[in-house]
Chains A and B, each alone.
Chain A
């Protein structure tokens, strides 16, 4: 994050004037600002770590078509088993929810960060900062979250509202499950009848030996 980039520069000055103060063992060496900048790419929900730049839906469509559509489809609808990036609104409480950027992802920062660092699959870290803004804008457009003339930048990034931003709760097993599952278990006469209700052999989707 850019916040810590400044810190690391200050720390470097300190380190150059003497041995690292905090360390007990004196192992390792201070990281140079260029090194931290090269690896410290993550972007947080509050936008910390976003570099300056911008990209339009229009540019994003072209970049997406050339770099992404072969797996994710021209409209981010997905090809084969590859992830669908758009669609699925209102399906999260259904039998077979479709979880996409539009229907599920809580933060736009994650889209920018993940595309920038890890996409395209097999050739990651090839998109420029402006290209990542453009692709992110196009994914928003594919999810009907912005208009076709939208331009995304580090300035307006936090203004985009993600539909499922409030869809997550912190792990609540301590209250919803632990009390129920921490009772002394039944040992005898636990139920009168037992019936087989489902069989894997009937479904028959297990790979054969030797496959």
Chain B
């Protein structure tokens, strides 16, 4: 708390907190005594708030300080080649605020000014080219909203329920509105030769994160993006330029994109041999598992977002997405998959973007085993974890899109569980 005019006093804040707590318990019942938050004049109704010069670029209000990226120390050897998680349990709608959108780096988030930025197109092209950042801003531009999901999202859950919260089990994802130039335009500017079949894309960072992408995909919908959710990319998301590869695993969305090379064959780089290959039960491994299949998760109630209001009206909400197209339907089960109800999509499903779903219920206070099941426009239905394990075994690491179960207890707390 500060002493600036208009700031609520500590006493006022504590009182408000107590009154709020009372209101939570009371629910829709009649008031026993007048609410001082109404009957007493509050400081914010009398004094000034902040001036318009107080916050040239604002942060969330302090009461939302728990809505932050979190990391899990034991997952990786260090925090430089590591991952953190978006607080999806606390968000609503579909657009992820950039400031808490998850990060995955292999050699840290680098600082690359626009003036120092260069993009090279080389290999099997008529004219290898170098673009400056200013050059890129002169190409015709498009806007698209896409999800970016790490291939390893939910990967820790292959062997069973491990991490207790949607942020940790499903938070390697964000969804942003990107502005940029179709990769196709840049490739056409250089002139792709007929023998070109792949592009190899790499970043300016030490890890380079090089990946091979079939030319068809590169010419279809890949986007060289420099704005996200209206503003420049955040440093940790690839400032000033990243690649968007709609519907495909996040590893391929090269940040700090510095080079696109047209080749005849895949390079088979470290990030598509040692990593981002999915080992099956018999010891063979799938490679080039690019598409992220249809998936969903209930974000509330969930372990980090328990029910605090007692029985009665309850909003069950969550996210659904598919790399194969638009979400067409989400079903919700309250009994661990014995029976299902179709939820309501807040908006019609968008191609390869997050969809928000709601199921409004009257909770009677009994235990629930909550699940959600996404369907996309191709007819693909999100499988159970056990259905995936029957095909893949336990060691795939990546591409776990199995149905998540939350055990909601009578006291409103929720836990990550597996069910039969």
Q: Which residues of A contact B (CB under 8 A)?
A: 1, 4, 7-8, 11-12, 14-15, 20-25, 27-31, 35-36, 39-40, 42-46, 71, 80-83, 92-93, 95-97, 99, 101, 104-107, 109-110, 113-114, 117-118, 121-122, 124-125, 167-173, 176-178, 180-201, 203, 205-207, 209, 211
Residue contact A45 to B189, C-beta cutoff 8 Å: no
* Contact partner, B77, options A82, A176, A190, A201, Cβ 8 Å: A82
Residues of A within 8 A of B168 (CB): 206-207
B210 at the interface (CB under 8 A from A): yes
Residues of B within 8 A of A199 (CB): 161, 407, 415-417
User: How far apart are B306's CB and chain A's nearest CB, in angstroms?
Assistant: 13
11 contacts between A and B (CB under 8 A): A4-B124, A20-B190, A24-B185, A42-B269, A113-B270, A171-B288, A185-B375, A186-B340, A190-B338, A196-B369, A197-B418
Residue contact A97 to B283, C-beta cutoff 8 Å: yes
- Give the size category of B's interface with A: 35 or more
Q: A172-B286, A187-B340, A191-B338 are in contact. List 9 more A-B contacts (CB 8 A).
A: A22-B126, A27-B131, A39-B259, A113-B267, A117-B210, A118-B106, A170-B288, A181-B382, A187-B331
How many angstroms between the C-alpha atoms of A168 and B274 in the bound complex?
A: 11
Residues of A within 8 A of B120 (CB): 31, 35-36, 39-40
Instruction: Identify the 3 closest CB pairs spanning chains A and B, nearest first.
Output: A22-B191, A93-B283, A194-B336
Most buried by A among B80, B273, B383: B273
How many angstroms between the C-alpha atoms of A80 and B76 in the bound complex?
A: 10
Residue contact B337 to A20, C-beta cutoff 8 Å: no
Residue contact A11 to B128, C-beta cutoff 8 Å: yes
Known: A191-B338, A200-B161, A207-B70. Is A106-B286 also a contact (CB below 8 A)?
no
What per-residue 1/0 map shows which CB atoms of B98-114 lie under 8 Å from chain A?
A: 00000000110000000
Residues of B within 8 A of A81 (CB): 76-78
Residues of B within 8 A of A110 (CB): 268-270, 273-274
In the complex, which residue of chain A has the Cβ closest to the Cβ of B186? Answer: A28
Residue contact A124 to B107, C-beta cutoff 8 Å: yes
Residues of B within 8 A of A71 (CB): 77
In the complex, which residue of chain B has the Cβ closest to the Cβ of A33? Answer: B128
Residue contact B381 to A185, C-beta cutoff 8 Å: yes
How many angstroms between the C-alpha atoms of A1 and B258 in the bound complex?
A: 16
Residues of A within 8 A of B139 (CB): 25, 27
Q: At the interface with chain A, which of B16-24, B36-44, B387-395?
A: B387-395
Known: A27-B139, A200-B161. Is A35-B130 also a contact (CB below 8 A)?
yes
B220 at the interface (CB under 8 A from A): no
* Contact partner, A183, options B81, B165, B291, B381, Cβ 8 Å: B381
How many angstroms between the C-alpha atoms of A178 and B387 in the bound complex?
A: 12
How many angstroms between the C-alpha atoms of A87 and B193 in the bound complex?
A: 43
Main secondary structure of the interface of B (DSSP, over half): loop
Residues of B within 8 A of A4 (CB): 122-124, 128, 261, 263
Residue contact B164 to A30, C-beta cutoff 8 Å: no
Known: A97-B395, A181-B387, A198-B418. Is A189-B258 also a contact (CB below 8 A)?
no
* Contact partner, A201, options B106, B124, B288, B415, Cβ 8 Å: B415
Residue contact A42 to B124, C-beta cutoff 8 Å: no
In the complex, which residue of chain B has the Cβ closest to the Cβ of A177? Answer: B391
B239 at the interface (CB under 8 A from A): no
Known: A40-B261, A93-B281, A200-B416. Is A11-B126 also a contact (CB below 8 A)?
yes
Residue contact A92 to B283, C-beta cutoff 8 Å: yes
Kindly identify, within residues 356 to 397 of chain B, every residue whose CB is under 8 Å from any CB belonging to chain A. 369, 373, 375, 378-383, 387, 391, 394-395
Known: A182-B380, A198-B160. Is A170-B287 also a contact (CB below 8 A)?
yes
Residue contact B189 to A20, C-beta cutoff 8 Å: yes
Residues of A within 8 A of B186 (CB): 28
How many angstroms between the C-alpha atoms of A15 and B122 in the bound complex?
A: 14
User: How far apart are B5's CB and chain A's nearest CB, in angstroms?
Assistant: 31
How many angstroms between the C-alpha atoms of A96 and B394 in the bound complex?
A: 9
How many angstroms between the C-alpha atoms of A151 and B125 in the bound complex?
A: 36
Known: A194-B369, A200-B162. Is A171-B269 also a contact (CB below 8 A)?
no
Residue contact A46 to B162, C-beta cutoff 8 Å: no
User: How far apart are B265's CB and chain A's nearest CB, in angstroms?
Assistant: 6
Residues of B within 8 A of A36 (CB): 120, 122, 128
Residue contact B273 to A42, C-beta cutoff 8 Å: no
B411 at the interface (CB under 8 A from A): no
How many angstroms between the C-alpha atoms of A187 and B335 in the bound complex?
A: 12
